[in-house]
Amino acid sequence: MRIAIICLALALLIGPASASFQFEEPTARNAGFGGAAVGLPADAAAPAVNPAALAGWTGYGAVFNYAQPYDPSFMDFDFGGAFQLPVAGSVGFSWQGFGTFLNGNMLTAENRITLAHGFWLRSDQSMSFGLGYGFSLHTESFAKSKTGIDPGSAMALGINLGAYARIWDRINVGLAVNNVNYPSIGKDQTYELGRMLAFGMSYDPYDMITTSFQVDKTMGTDVRYRMGLEARPHPIVAIRVGLSTEPVRFTTGLGLTWQGILIDYAYKYHSYLGPTHLLTVGYRFDPTFGGSARP
């Protein structure tokens, strides 16, 4: 089974451009929503999702996420942070990494390092509207073959754009476009990185309930739909369920928030490749909430 999964990973890496740099969600909270995060208020991993959401970020914080996709031969990790500027919104960064291993040896490694900035164009009690932009450095490398052939490594720079609106503190709408500059990666043989367009919105019908929906498409793939719900029965506890298509995957999650400390877990079901587990830990200082992180 493990060998089959490794072969699948290698096939994806040498397949269409959209097959590479397909990381898991950057936080377990996002995964708990089924990945429907473009329209959610920003967390510290917003640079990897929608840079414009940083317009609404206050305070400072950081998160680390570890994902175990399908099989121990895979590893996916994410590290992100955000900081509110004195003026002109907030800035953030993220580092997403994915590796494939066999018998303790790394076969492939992919990384995406992003710097982003989001700011309000208009902000009042009824509606706020902001824009954002980011720059993502993509790198990939391959291990030497048994015969000593070194496939080498490559890198490319992608530009990301986003928009974000908040209406009456109940409705949030987000739009994100990644790799708008059509970057290509490779040396002797190059391919375009997948450009992704995502639109999403979230709605809080009650103070302790958040719903989210998203539709997105990556170049060379089918349209994907995502949706999720978060219930907060207690100020420090959050329970999440989600669903995504292409392929169909169900997710559940649990989050704990106390004195700015964040701990989130998500479980993603896959009918063929097996489950994925995500664990996120982080911290946020938010002066607008008395120093505690927002739920």
Residue 283 and residue 64 in contact, taking contact as beta carbons nearer than 8 Å? no
pLDDT tens, position by position, 177-186? 999 999 988 7
Query: Which DSSP helix (H) or strand (E) runs through 204?
Result: strand 196-206
Q: Is the dihedral of CA 244, 264, 161, 14 positive or negative?
A: negative
Mean pLDDT in residue range 104-116: 88
Residue with tokens 């998500």: 266
Got the DSSP string for 49-102? Answer: T-GGGGGG--SEEEEEEEEEESSTTEEEEEEEEEEE-SSS-EEEEEEEEEEEEE
Residue 105: predicted pLDDT:
75
Cα 16–Cα 21–Cα 22 angle in degrees, nearest 5: 90
pLDDT tens, position by position, 73-105? 777 899 999 999 999 999 999 999 988 877 777
Residues near 210 by beta carbon (within 8 Å), at least 6 away in sequence: 40, 202, 203, 204, 229, 230
> Could you tell me the two tokens for 136?
């993502």
Got the DSSP string for 114-137? Answer: EEEEEEEEEE-SSEEEEEEEEEEE
Best CA proximity match to 289, nearest among 266, 267, 263, 262: 262
Residue 150: predicted pLDDT:
73
* Rounded Cα distance, 184 and 193, in Å: 6
Mean pLDDT in residue range 6-30: 59
pLDDT tens, position by position, 209-242? 999 999 999 888 899 999 999 999 999 999 999 9
Cα 91–Cα 84–Cα 128 angle in degrees, nearest 5: 90
Residues near 146 by beta carbon (within 8 Å), at least 6 away in sequence: none
pLDDT-derived band at 20 (thresholds 50, 70, 90) equals low
When comparing pLDDT for 36 and 68, which is higher? 36
Residue 8: predicted pLDDT:
37
Q: Does 278 score more than 50 pLDDT?
A: yes
Best CA proximity match to 192, nearest among 138, 243, 235: 138
Q: Does 72 score more than 80 pLDDT?
A: no
Q: Does 293 score more than 70 pLDDT?
A: no
Query: Which DSSP helix (H) or strand (E) runs through 291?
Result: none
Residue 239: predicted pLDDT:
98
Supply the mean pLDDT for the chain.
87
Residue 9: predicted pLDDT:
40
Residue 268: predicted pLDDT:
94
Residue 156 and residue 184 in contact, taking contact as beta carbons nearer than 8 Å? yes
pLDDT-derived band at 17 (thresholds 50, 70, 90) equals very low
Residue 6: predicted pLDDT:
36
Mean pLDDT in residue range 57-86: 90
Give the CA radius of gyration of the chain. 19
Residue 22: predicted pLDDT:
72
CB neighbours (10 Å) of residue 229?
17
**Domains assigned to the chain:** 2-289 (2.40.160.40)
Residue with tokens 């070194």: 150
pLDDT-derived band at 169 (thresholds 50, 70, 90) equals confident
> Could you tell me the two tokens for 242?
């989600």
pTM, two decimals, is 0.86
Best CA proximity match to 21, nearest among 167, 154, 176, 213: 154
pLDDT tens, position by position, 132-166? 999 999 999 887 777 777 777 889 999 999 999 99
